[in-house]
Structure 1
Amino acid sequence: MSSQPPPPPSSPPSPEGQPVEVREVSGLSARAIAFFVLAILLLVFMLENTKEAKVHLFFWHLNLPLWFVIFGCALAGAILWEAFGAVRRHRRRKARKETRAKN
């Protein structure tokens, strides 16, 4: 018995007869990976900051766990990020449609 791994499957030939490089793709985009890494970092940061914090917002004065304040700020930032991105995409689509209409 041989202890060597089996050879990789051969590449299927292209229409021209040349071998085609076969790549395996994980299915996760760089954006998804970055999201998961940042989510894990945020979770660790929240778990490390569990003390109470005084929050003064307009006329409200609250004592909240610091992790809750951190999560709320991160959530508000994510919502604003997506909202501004949606406005930007809308403006770009509108400008592209106007450009196509002129041509």
Structure 2
Amino acid sequence: MSPKDTAGTKRGERLGGVTPGRIAIAVVAVLLLVFIFENTREVKIRLLIPEVTMPLYLALLATALLGGLCGWYVARRGPRRRK
């Protein structure tokens, strides 16, 4: 491959945007969903003061979504440099 062939291409662009990182994230997401939907029994969960009964998959899904949102927020802000 000559430098002319790769000039102007971004990382992952040659494979249609499929990168090893995206494949790994997709595999983890599928495994997470399988784990969540295999756990469907009702459980008692204590939320600070009230105790609620709900399907375990809803609690796992809510936790995964909150964790994902927190991770996205932290990654988006990134490290701040002092001047």
Calculate the TM-score normalised by the size of structure 2.
0.71
Q: How many residues align?
A: 76
Aligned counterpart, 1:45? 35
Aligned counterpart, 2:59? 69
> Taking structure 1 as reference, are residues 28 and 87 closer, same or farther at Cα in structure 2, changes over 3 Å only?
same
Larger radius of gyration: 1
Once the two structures are superposed, residues 41-62 of structure 1 have per-residue CA deviations (whole angstroms, 9 ceiling, x without a partner) of: 0111112111011110112211
Check if 1:86 corresponds to 2:73: no
CA distance in 2, matches of 1:81, 1:14: 37
Computed over aligned residues only, the root mean square deviation of the Cα atoms, in angstroms, reads 2.7
CA distance in 2, matches of 1:31, 1:78: 16
> Taking structure 1 as reference, are residues 83 and 64 closer, same or farther at Cα in structure 2, changes over 3 Å only?
same
Aligned counterpart, 2:23? 33
Consecutive aligned runs of 4 or more in structure 1 exceeding 6 Å deviation: none
Once the two structures are superposed, residues 26-84 of structure 1 have per-residue CA deviations (whole angstroms, 9 ceiling, x without a partner) of: 42122321221111101111121110111101122111101111111111111111122
Once the two structures are superposed, residues 2-34 of structure 1 have per-residue CA deviations (whole angstroms, 9 ceiling, x without a partner) of: xxxxxxxxx8x888xxxx7xxx52421223212
Check if 1:60 corresponds to 2:50: yes
Higher relative contact order, chain-length normalized (CA < 8 Å, sep 6+): 2
> Taking structure 1 as reference, are residues 28 and 50 closer, same or farther at Cα in structure 2, changes over 3 Å only?
same
